[in-house]
Amino acid sequence: MTDSKTAIDITVVSGRSLTDDCILELEIDNGIITKVTKKEVKGSEQLPYIAPGLIDNQVNGFKNVDFTDFGLTVEQIQFVTKELWKEGITSYLPTIITCDPSILKSNLKTFAEALNNPQIGKSIPGIHLEGPYISPLAGFRGAHNKKWTKEPDWKEFNEFQKISGNNVKQITLAPERKGALEFIEKANKRQVVIAIGHHNASANVIHQAAEAGATISTHLGNGCANKIDRHHNPIWPQLAEDRLMASIITDGFHLTQEEIKTFYRAKGHDRLILVSDMTKLAGLPAGDYMWNGKKVNLNRSGKITYPEQNVLAGSSATLKNGIPNMIQFSGCPIKEAFQMATKNPAKLNSLDDRGELSVGKRADCILFNYDGNEIQVVQTIVDGKLVYDQSQTDNFEN
């Protein structure tokens, strides 16, 4: 546990190791881990586990805040960031999906302003644009609005990037769209992570996309039509392409247990990334809602659907909820599951300062209890500062 229960700088933090039967003690100076010591567990000592802070590569919104809604405010971004700390997420990429360009530009400007806040900016290393350069085809575009899908436009993207304060870190596009391969090459040179998703690309085009610099498949197995050819479809080539990492949603709805196990075996724990794909409905009661101009349903089990196209419409589960599912469905050890939610997304996004509990890394970590079915966050530390304490939640409200 930490040596303090107030929102001040932390100098020492201790917790049980995920892999060894020992206690890890981290010494922290000016937000950086300066020493890691392993100590024996003494008698009945019951400390919570310690792990790097979770890094969510795809967050569309949370608790009735939608990053694609018209009129997004700085205060809403701050609210979501603090709520995510309670879920153990120390870094995340806010995701804006396909929408009216005027909304996209307005919200990018709002994020540029929000990231000027040092505390919030520490947890938002960049923005993820999921669209608008995706497939217009039903099923493949998922819950995205067809009206605003379009072919990749480098001039327009540069305008988006300028408005955002150069904070667009990742973009998901369909590689089969006209001009996509050239767009990928240009973005890659600008250190923008290119993900392929919501597409119906052939094996050859997927190979060309990886050759041009694409490095990840967005929520593999989703953003895909319900009925596809059993041999020639977008899934197999992405699994076979070693240059592509893959993000997957392990909320229990987006992928079956067998799919998750197969993806794990094909990609291995070094090339899989767990994401939540959370929408504004996460944290809300079951019912019918209007989201991004569409009527969607959140049922009592947490499943969100877009009935008009019979497809899923994002997730209501946070990243920590997907980790036990990954362990149970694939049989992977807890260390690997956490790597998929910490070190791997850090590597994908070139966040060399976080994602691991090692000397020289930023002190982003969580303390939590785990009973084999559920992760309960006890404390969250960002940049060496205690930002959430389960026992003193009143001290961390807004």
> What is the structure's pLDDT at 270?
98
Residue 368 has pLDDT above 90, yes or no: yes
The better pLDDT of the pair 110, 301 is held by 110
Positive or negative: CA dihedral 302, 308, 311, 314: negative
Our CA dihedral for 307, 143, 276, 256, rounded to 10 degrees, sits at: 50
Report the distance separating Cα 11 and Cα 14, nearest Å: 10
Size (the chain), residues: 398
Residue 99, amino acid:
C
Residue 7 has pLDDT above 60, yes or no: no
Sheet holding 168-173, edge to edge: 54-59, 89-97, 127-130, 168-173, 193-196, 216-217, 245-249, 272-275
**With contact defined as beta carbons under 8 Å apart, do 76 and 367 qualify?**
no
> What is the structure's pLDDT at 394?
57
Instruction: Quickly state the pLDDT bin for 294 (edges 50, 70, 90).
Output: confident
Residue with tokens 């899908």: 149
> Of all residues in the chain, what percent carry a pLDDT higher than 90?
86
Mean pLDDT of 287-305: 87
> What is the structure's pLDDT at 291?
77
**Predicted TM-score (pTM) of this structure:** 0.95
Main-chain dihedrals φ then ψ at residue 154, nearest 5 degrees: -65, -40
Residue 4 has pLDDT above 50, yes or no: no
Residue 310 has pLDDT above 90, yes or no: no
Positive or negative: CA dihedral 332, 57, 90, 389: negative
Question: Helix crossing, 180-189 with 154-163: angle to 10°?
Answer: 40
Residue 173 has pLDDT above 80, yes or no: yes
Report the distance separating Cα 26 and Cα 13, nearest Å: 5
Q: Count of CB atoms within 10 A of residue 295's CB? A: 12
Residue 393 has pLDDT above 70, yes or no: no
pLDDT in tens, 214-269: 999 999 999 999 899 999 999 999 999 999 999 999 999 999 999 999 999 999 99
Instruction: Quickly state the pLDDT bin for 334 (edges 50, 70, 90).
Output: very high
pLDDT in tens, 55-82: 999 999 999 999 999 999 999 999 999 9
Bridge-based pairing of strands 168-173 and 127-130 is parallel
> What is the structure's pLDDT at 143?
85
> What is the structure's pLDDT at 3?
43
Tell me the two tokens of residue 183: 């767009």
Instruction: Quickly state the pLDDT bin for 44 (edges 50, 70, 90).
Output: low
Our CA dihedral for 230, 255, 89, 16, rounded to 10 degrees, sits at: -110
Domains of the chain: 12-51+359-396 (2.30.40.10), 54-348 (3.20.20.140)
Q: What is the DSSP letter of 360?
A: T
pLDDT in tens, 76-117: 999 999 999 999 999 999 999 999 999 999 999 999 999 998
**With contact defined as beta carbons under 8 Å apart, do 275 and 248 qualify?**
yes
Which of 246, 276, 325 minimizes the C-alpha distance to 91?
Answer: 276
Report the distance separating Cα 136 and Cα 151, nearest Å: 10
> What is the structure's pLDDT at 45?
67
Mean pLDDT of 36-48: 84
Residue 209, amino acid:
A
> What is the structure's pLDDT at 306?
85
Strand partners, 36: 26
Cβ-based neighbours of 297, under 8 Å, separated by 6 or more:
287, 288, 289, 304, 305, 307
Report the mean per-residue pLDDT for the chain: 94
> What is the structure's pLDDT at 187?
98
